[in-house]
Chain A
Amino acid sequence: MTNHWRDIKNADVIMINGANPAEAHPVGFQWFMKAKLDPTKGPGSGGGAKLIHADPRFSRTSAVSDMYLRIRTGTDVAYFGGLINYVIQNNKYHDEYVKNYTNASFIINKDYKFKDGLFSGYDAKKRTYAVETWAYDNEPGPDKYAKRDESLKDPHCVFQLIKNHYSRYTPEMVQTITGIPKEDFLKVAQIVGEMGRPDKVMTIVYAVGLTHHTTGSQLIRSAAVLQLLLGNIGRPGGGMNAERGHANIQGNTDNAISWEILPGYLKVPLPGQKTIEDYVKVSASKRLLGISWNFFGTNYKKFIVSLLKTWYGDSANKSNDFAFSYLPKPAGNSSWMTIYDQALQGKMEGVMLSGMTAASIGPDSNQVLTALSKLKWLAVMDPFPTTSSEFWHASGLNPADVQTEVFMLPTTHWIEKDGSFVNSGRWMQWKDQVIPPVGDSRHDHWIVAELFHRVKALYQKDGGKFPDPIVHLTMDYKDPLKPSLDEIAREVNGKDLKTGKRLATFAKLMDDGTTTSGNWIYVGSYPEKGNMAKRRKGVQDPAKNDPTGMGFYPEWAWTWPLNRRILYNRASADMSGKPWDPKRAGIAWNGSKWVGDVPDYPPKMNPKDPKAWLPFTMNGEGVARLFASSMLDGPIPEHYEPVESPVKNALHPDMSASPTAFLYDKAAKRENRFGTPDEYPIIATTYRLTEHEHYVTQQVPHLVQLQPEPFVEIPTALANERGVKTGDMVRVRSKRGKIEVRAVVTNRVGQLDLGGKKVYQVGIPIHWGYVGIAAEMHPEKSKFWMANNLTPFVGDANSRTPEFKAFLVQIEKLA
């Protein structure tokens, strides 16, 4: 989230796309309801914030929303694109913000083109883009600053390119693609259009309903472009707010659970980068304007050197370029699907799973199960048996044929250990151990620590090709086999090696090897004065603990970076430092310093100084990007169909699906596993229910009682065609597999009219498999309970996220 949960109470309009906060985040949802019940909020003259929910299913979020719009899954770029078009055509955008705080005025290379669904630079063979033509035009001179046209009239300026690009997204086109009738779409557009006023503000809340598509990154960017045009980024009550998974997905991502990043969103080095200099040159952003601070790019080296000092201690020094050679420079990626793709190709010997079950989380579980059966060994670290630790029981596998040796390492549950959770709003909150571990279970980090020491001992004894990265790794804990999470939190914060004192801000990090930090964005979370994540000054005394009244509660826990509650908050005030809406101030210039939230800006930089930095201090541009050349699948979000779709792309039928989606099976020369609309005419999407958390709650009796059996939500009209009633057993099958579950017949899912073509959508919750309390009650039935048996093995070009949320199926009633 650019903002945070509590901040949603400050919004006038809450747009919810690809998300179901009432069910997935019911506790966070209280802030949506606070906004809704607050008569001072809302469009027009108030009357409470309006919730607008566009979703394939009418969910428990829709049940309390002011407007629910039935949208075809995966078409949100068309929805947001239509809103962008409306806002531009009707001059509803926030002019001053767009001119000064976005790259609207930047001139793009004259060879940039978009034609017939393709951006310039496409290589059809590799299915990738060369991005040279997407670059900014430079001013002459040694600094190569970007050329701008502040009148926004140059045909090659970003504003004109965006305006032209989205002129195709008319209300009629929105209707044809999304299935939302034109007149309903215009009702939304009218409300959204008002949110470009400085005294109004809208938030957009999204979740994996936007990310789980081959166009996932662009779905999110299309919403962000709308928010920038409305001037809503950086403001309380605004922002782009991703609901992250429970309870620590945000913390995982910050600390490099993802394949393409090191801690603190530093890039993973590439092959050929021999020195830190090579690495920083490619990875760090360049200053593109004289008044752009380019904070991240400027300090990149400090962050990577401090990270290497943390990991390699005295073995990282100037003479060996701070052990940069120890870091892997992988040629390929190691995203989730790639791991199982490699296993399918027989290139993986073993896999260790921690905190998730590969067999269930898919996509294409049958293919993943085949991959697991090709491993020599599989180690599962989990408090409970999982569909992976028991994977040979899955349908389609003959246990006698599975040669994989499976190890179950019982771990502690989070309730059995202390440590921190980082919530969607980037709040790092410390928790205590509630109960002691059961039996012989151990903490995951203790298992990894011991494993590491055994591997290290082997390297020390036997040598090896390159033992240095292993034998020189620091493990400066009281008991290196059992590091405490408190010690690790202090290590992540980092310290000044000259004084031995922990640092309070990343501004003190150095690139000469005199500082450490395991993650630069967490510097200040555990300074000398203590663990900030333990702070609890909350609603006991709102007047004292929330002095601005905006819900920042600065002494409750700690937020990265630097306890800043709202990212980019310099953009909450105008050029002179006056808040766009004085009633909802993020930060304000009081004549000598910035007050309010922790400023995303030098605390004493006078905004009236002609040399004052631009507001988006992290970017090389100093402003936010409406046009982003860093995306692999295009600088402006464009609607592409899901890889499996019942219709051709109405904008460019010959370039229907994303031309850059990563087709794993095709790349590995495996048989085609995509279905056609003739065989599989129904659109399906998967989702989660409030009663379960992924798969682990299949072990919790009270929750199994609330949701005992899997089902598929089927539109009433479709059910009538097939003679299906609620409670009947039905088979849902895709090109890749099948499930056999109960039917829930309802108008909450329904038919879409896509320019004359009628299609049905169905919804399938994901939480079941062949392991757990319910599965034990129904051992035969539960063989066909895994929703991801149906989903396609294909990924977004940028993130390689699978398309869990849009695919094709057929449905039959079972006798």
Chain B
Amino acid sequence: MPEPVGFFTDTSICIGCKACEVACKEWNQLPGNTPKFGDGFDNTGQLDAENYRHVKFVDLVGDTPIVTGNGNAWLMMSDICKHCTNASCLEVCPTNAIVRTEYNTVLIQQDACNGCRDCISACPFGAIGFSESSGTARKCTMCYDRLQANMQPACAKACPTQSIQYGTLSQLHQKADARLAALKKQGYDNAQLYGRDDSIYGGLGAFFLLMNKPEVYGLPNKDNAVLPRRNNRMGYFGGFVTAAIGIVAGLVAFRSRADAPPAKGAEPPASAP
């Protein structure tokens, strides 16, 4: 068995170029969505069966003549399936189409998926979409075919600033810890790792360095990241509610960020350290 692998996505150095989105669609031969205006910079809108990567933009820029950027004012985050340790999609899948691979990633086997969509409602991150063309649920595979050929996933390969890093989780954890320490030293008190430890669904195979609270990015925080399971109806329900809240909160954050006040719960960017 290979060592568990994953993604470390450092949002503090993401430049929102969306090379990850395009590389993913090219490699996985996804036609993509129908062109539709979103808000000028985010026109992808969500993770779904045509978009396994989605760069979120959260605009907290204040109306001031000088601003400290440093990934802390106009937040950009390349979102993706988190490959959860406790993956609710895997638990609820009635056909066992969703499996944990030899790389410790979560994969939907397309030939075993019956298109029931249970996983879609179970996923607390809204990372899975239903493909009308294949009649199956689809999401990030962490480029399973590339991993088998000893290649890194397409998104990480294309990322020009190494905001998306691929590697063994143990190495990535070390890198993430060092980066967080550097940011803390510079005074970024809101900087935090998300999914690095087991507090979010037992730990995430795709974990993040965030520059603000998880909910600012539309992510469930530690308190409401409750594990749904087939035999845990309340948990299931909780997960569903969390997902709904996550989506609504995301929409609210996205819609309202054009107006001046930052999204609810958002901390204003730290002053220039």
Contacts and interface: CB of A to CB of B under 8 A. Distances in A.
A26 B15 contact: yes
A37 B13 contact: yes
Contact of A742 (B17, B37, B186): B37
A38 B182 CA distance: 11
A168 interface: no
Nearest to A690: B17
A64 B15 contact: yes
A63 B41 CA distance: 13
B160 interface: yes
A690 B57 CA distance: 14
A66 B70 contact: yes
B135 interface: no
A30 B161 contact: yes
Contacts of A68: 66-69, 73
Contacts of B61: 58, 746-748
Contacts, number: 160
A752 B160 CA distance: 34
A47 B34 CA distance: 45
A488 interface: no
Interface of B is mostly: loop
A641 interface: no
Nearest to B73: A63
A745 interface: yes
B2 interface: no
B76 A60 contact: yes
B35 A773 contact: yes
B16 interface: yes
Most buried by A among B12, B32, B35, B186: B35
A704 B33 CA distance: 10
A70 B70 CA distance: 16
Contacts of A33: 13, 161-162
B22 A703 contact: yes
A23 B15 contact: yes
B36 interface: yes
A668 to B, nearest CB: 38
A732 interface: no
Contact of B40 (A29, A53, A70, A711): A711
B63 A67 contact: no
Given A690-B16, A707-B43, A725 B258 contact: yes
B258 A726 contact: yes
Contact of A70 (B19, B39, B66): B66
A26 B17 contact: yes
B175 to A, nearest CB: 11
A180 interface: yes
Interface string A24-66: 0011011001001101000000010001010000101111111
A708 interface: yes
Contacts of B161: 26, 29-30, 33, 64
B22 A69 contact: no
Interface residues of A, number: 62
Contacts of A236: none
Contact of A704 (B14, B35, B66): B35
A184 B65 contact: yes
Contacts of B258: 716, 725-726, 744-746
A783 B3 CA distance: 56
Interface of A is mostly: mixed
B18 A63 contact: no
A53 B69 contact: yes
A667 interface: no
A717 B63 contact: yes
B65 A180 contact: yes
B26 interface: yes
A66 B18 contact: no
A26 B19 contact: yes
Contacts of A62: 67, 69, 73-74
B18 to A, nearest CB: 5
B54 to A, nearest CB: 11
B25 interface: yes
Contacts of A51: 69
Interface residues of B, number: 47
Contacts of A444: none
A725 B259 CA distance: 8
A256 to B, nearest CB: 32
A704 B44 CA distance: 11
Given A30-B160, A706-B22, A748-B61, A67 B13 contact: no
Contacts of A711: 37, 40
Nearest to A748: B61
B15 A702 contact: no
B15 A691 contact: no
B97 to A, nearest CB: 28
B13 A691 contact: no
Interface string A620-657: 00000000000000000000000000000000000000
B17 A748 contact: no
B74 A63 contact: yes
Contact of A726 (B18, B39, B73, B162): B39
Given A711-B40, A726-B39, A748-B61, A181 B66 contact: yes
Given A717-B63, A748-B59, A64 B13 contact: yes
A706 B43 contact: yes
B40 A66 contact: no
Contacts of B19: 26
A63 B15 contact: yes
A23 B17 contact: yes
Interface in B232-271: 258-260
Nearest to B40: A744
A336 to B, nearest CB: 29
A60 B65 contact: no
B202 interface: no
A795 interface: no
Contacts of A69: 65-66
B69 A63 contact: yes
Contacts of B25: 702
A709 interface: yes
A63 B65 contact: no
B160 A748 contact: no
B251 to A, nearest CB: 13
Interface in B7-66: 12-19, 21-22, 25-26, 31-37, 39-41, 43-44, 59, 61-63, 65-66
B39 A744 contact: yes
B65 A747 contact: no
Contact of A774 (B14, B35, B73, B272): B35
Contacts of B41: 744
A23 B204 CA distance: 30
A530 interface: no
A703 B21 CA distance: 10
A713 interface: yes
Contact of A702 (B26, B34, B63): B26
A696 to B, nearest CB: 16
Contact of A701 (B32, B69, B259): B32
A745 B261 CA distance: 13
A705 B66 contact: no
Contacts of B65: 69-70, 179-181, 184, 750, 752-753
A717 B21 CA distance: 33
Most buried by B among A22, A39, A753: A22
B164 to A, nearest CB: 13
Given A66-B272, A707-B43, 6 more contacts: A23-B17, A60-B15, A67-B67, A708-B35, A713-B40, A746-B258
Interface of A: 22-23, 26-27, 29-30, 33, 36-37, 39, 47, 51, 53, 58, 60-70, 179-181, 184, 187, 690-691, 701-709, 711, 713, 715-717, 725-727, 742, 744-748, 750-753, 773-774, 777
17 contacts: A63-B74, A65-B70, A67-B66, A67-B67, A67-B272, A70-B65, A701-B31, A702-B22, A704-B35, A705-B34, A708-B43, A709-B37, A716-B63, A726-B40, A727-B37, A727-B39, A744-B41
Which 5 residue pairs across A and B have the least CB separation, nearest first? Answer: A708-B35, A744-B40, A726-B258, A22-B15, A26-B17
